[in-house]
């Protein structure tokens, strides 16, 4: 995996414009920042498969090398949880509870929810922390995306049976919907 340069997410509208789950987009941005020096090498005591490989492909080679050096210390015996995953989980909580929950609420009350994207894991976790009055809106967004994707998958199967080469984008969107964006905890 090649890491893109961290991009500042100036607001919900920017993530929305990309047509992806905005919570994933926010976390992906935090992840790039953490992998490129946002997490001090000495703060990294454990690493998962995904983040080890992401670090191996990171642009900031010095930082990556120092993190790996730190992980070679006897104290880091491989039993510690991935420090990047831990930080991302901490970043996710307030975002799900506050800004994104409010955003879903206002999108739904203005009819914007017909174009809102959310991956299923984030829709479900957002539901857990959002006020009860927003549950219906979150469910509505999730089921609308599910039926859209179902239809697109059906079309893809039909078209590929006829020998057409198209629609790989649908598979990617399906993977994102089910498991969150690549490397983001689902």
Q: Please report how close the Cβ of residue 52 comes to Zn ion at its closest, in angstroms.
A: 8
Residue 48 or residue 174: which is nearer to Zn ion going by CB?
48
**DSSP letter (8 states) at residue 47:** -
Residue 2 or residue 165: which is nearer to Zn ion going by CB?
2
CA distances from 87 to 74, 81, 121, 126, 171 (A): 23, 11, 18, 18, 29
Q: Please report how close the Cβ of residue 43 comes to Zn ion at its closest, in angstroms.
A: 13
Residue 40 or residue 159: which is nearer to Zn ion going by CB?
40
> What are the structure tokens assigned to 101, written together?
């929950």
What is the C-alpha to C-alpha distance for residues 142 and 26, in angstroms, rounded to an integer? 19
Residue 59 or residue 85: which is nearer to Zn ion going by CB?
85
Among 75, 83, 74, 79, which residue's Cα sits nearest to residue 51? Answer: 83
Q: Please report how close the Cβ of residue 102 comes to Zn ion at its closest, in angstroms.
A: 17
Q: Please report how close the Cβ of residue 84 comes to Zn ion at its closest, in angstroms.
A: 4
Which residues are at the interface with Zn ion (CB under 5 A)? Answer: 21, 23-24, 48, 51, 82, 84-85, 119, 122, 180
Q: Please report how close the Cβ of residue 137 comes to Zn ion at its closest, in angstroms.
A: 16
* Helices of type H across the chain: 12-17, 22-33, 49-56, 61-71, 83-97, 99-109, 120-129, 135-161, 168-179
Residue 139 or residue 164: which is nearer to Zn ion going by CB?
139
Is residue 93 within 8 Å of residue 126, measured between CB atoms? no
């Amino acid at each position: 995996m090649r890491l893109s340069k961290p991009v500042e997410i100036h607001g919900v509208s920017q993530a929305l414009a990309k047509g992806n789950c905005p919570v994933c987009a926010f976390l992906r941005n935090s992840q790039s920042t953490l992998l490129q020096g946002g997490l001090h090498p000495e703060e990294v005591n454990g690493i998962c498969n995904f983040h080890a490989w992401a670090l191996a492909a990171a642009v900031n080679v010095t930082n990556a090398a120092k993190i790996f050096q730190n992980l070679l210390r006897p104290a880091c015996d491989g039993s510690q949880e991935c420090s990047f995953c831990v930080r991302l989980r901490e970043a996710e909580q307030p975002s799900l509870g506050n800004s994104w929950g409010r955003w879903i609420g206002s999108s739904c009350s203005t009819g914007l929810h017909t174009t809102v994207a959310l991956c299923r894991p984030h829709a479900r976790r957002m539901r857990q922390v959002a006020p009860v009055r927003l549950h219906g809106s979150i469910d509505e967004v999730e089921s609308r995306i599910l039926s859209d994707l179902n239809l697109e998958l059906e079309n893809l199967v039909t078209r590929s049976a006829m020998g057409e080469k198209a629609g790989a984008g649908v598979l990617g969107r399906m993977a994102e919907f089910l498991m969150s964006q690549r490397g983001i905890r689902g």
